[in-house]
Every structure is written in structure tokens, then in C-alpha cells.
Amino acid sequence: MRLTDLRAECATAVAAIRDALAVIAERRDAETIIEKGAFDLATGTDIASQRAIHDVLTRTHPEHGFLGEESGHDAPQTERSYFMVDPICGTSNFARGFPMYAVNISLIEDGDIVASAVGDGALGDIWVAERGRGAFALDGEALRPIRVDPKGIAISLDPGRPDRPARMSAATMLAAAVRQGRWELRVIGSSLDLAYVATGRLAGVWHFSKIPPLHFAAGVLLIREAGGTVTDNDGASWTLDSTGLLATATPVLNADLRALYASG
């Protein structure tokens, strides 16, 4: 299977991610730091990456709207269809030279995620998904199917932005998971961890706080198309309006983690 076998927006998103990864590799204007809030910053590279993505997407598909992390918007636009873009997810990692950050592009139609692409900012890997068609790793223009690993034992727990309830929930879950001793625990600090669930590198990810969906949507579709389960904190199917995100390789692991949290 080749990239051209998917809908045209997938190839466009991949082209945009390739341009963004080139900008990121150069660390273009990385010394410019913009403080957006507690534990929330942007660099000049974020802005340059988004600009590169915007140029490709809007030139090739002007029929779709555009919503970017660095555009000053946190809510979906009113257009029937639009691209959601996070030009660097894990900017704090990027700014500090910690190689865990991603580029996320998703296409939303009538409130649903229908296509997405994710780029690993440090390693250069690119993954793409189309609803109902599968999730794939890119090898040139060829596509290799990716699948979750139902036997995995590594889990990432991310407290997210500094709202106290979410952080207390994360602390409760972390303590319970440490006591259980059943999993290898990580804090990735980027939605790159969603792509890692889809590719089997992680068995599960829990982001506890409500974060704008442009950070998560691309990875959510990867996981779903790779055979995984994605819910909100309460176990309902994750949507663009959800609070929190729990992504697991299996429904059983999803239920186990929520039960462990409830007992913690």
C-alpha cells in the first residue's frame, strides 16, 4: 500500500509534516521564547513550523479551515471541515534539548477525526491514518501497517497543565501504579506518547487534564486505527470536547487502570 492510496489530505499532511520537521531540525529561531502561561511556552521554531504547515495545507486544500496552536485559538472553528495543527507538541522538551516532541496534523469533518499525520520531531518518523483505512508508518511513499501491542507493560502518566485537580488525580494514579508494580512508568511530556501507543512502544497513556484537542486528535486516530482504545477519564469514548484522555492497547487495560485509580 502506498500513501497515494489514502485520501489526498493524508499526502498533503505528510508533506506539511516533512517541511515542519526540516524547520525543527534547524531549530529555526529556537532561542526566541514566548511564555504563554505556567508550564506553557512557545519558541520561534513553533511559529516557523506552523507557518510552514499552514503554507502547504492552505495552498493545497483551501476548501478546509485551519486551526493552529500558535494562532491564538483553543476552540474548533465553525467550518464544517478544518485542519487542526500542533506545530510542536512538547515544546518544553524541544527547548531543553530533550528528544520527545511531535508535530500533529488532523483533519476534522463534522466534528469527527477523519485523517491525521504525526511526525516524531527528534527521530523523523512519520505516521499517518485515515478513518476506516488503518494506521501506517511511512517508508518513503510506501505504507507499513502499525498495531498496538496488547502485551506491552510500559505506561506514560502525564499530569498535564497545572490545574490542581488533574495533578492530584495524576499523583493518586502514580502512587497506585507504583504500589502495584505491574508496569514500567514514564512521563513523556508530549502527545508523542500517543503515537508510541499506536506503534506498540507503550501499552498505555493517561493525560489527566483538559487540553485543547489539537494536541491529541492526530494521535487518537492513529491509536484507534491501530486497534487501540481511547476514552476520557471516566471511560466514555474520547471526543474533541473530552476532559482527560486514557489511551490503551486493549479495553481490558483501560478498565484495569480506571479501576486502579478508583481504588487508589
Supply the DSSP string of 181-228, one letter for each residue.
T-SEEE---STHHHHHHHTTS-SEEEE-S---GGGTHHHHHHHHHTT-
- The residue among 127, 145, 163 that closes a domain is 145
More confident residue, 63 or 79: 63
| 25 and 82 together in one domain | yes
**Among the three residues 119, 145, 171, which one is the final residue of a domain in this structure?**
145
pTM of the complete model: 0.93
pLDDT in tens, 92-133: 999 999 999 999 999 999 999 999 999 999 999 999 999 999
Domain boundary among 84, 119, 145: 145
Provide the CATH number for the domain around residue 68: 3.30.540.10
214 CB-side CA count, 13 A: 24
- Residue 126 sits in the same domain as residue 17: yes
Q: Which domain holds residue 184?
A: 154-263
Question: pLDDT tens for residues 224-238?
Answer: 999 999 999 999 999
**Residues 160, 141 share a domain:** no
Domain tally for the chain? 2
Q: Do 10 and 116 belong to one domain?
A: yes
The answer to whether residues 16 and 132 belong to one domain is yes
- Euclidean distance between CA atoms 154 and 75, whole angstroms: 32
CATH of the domain at 161: 3.40.190.80
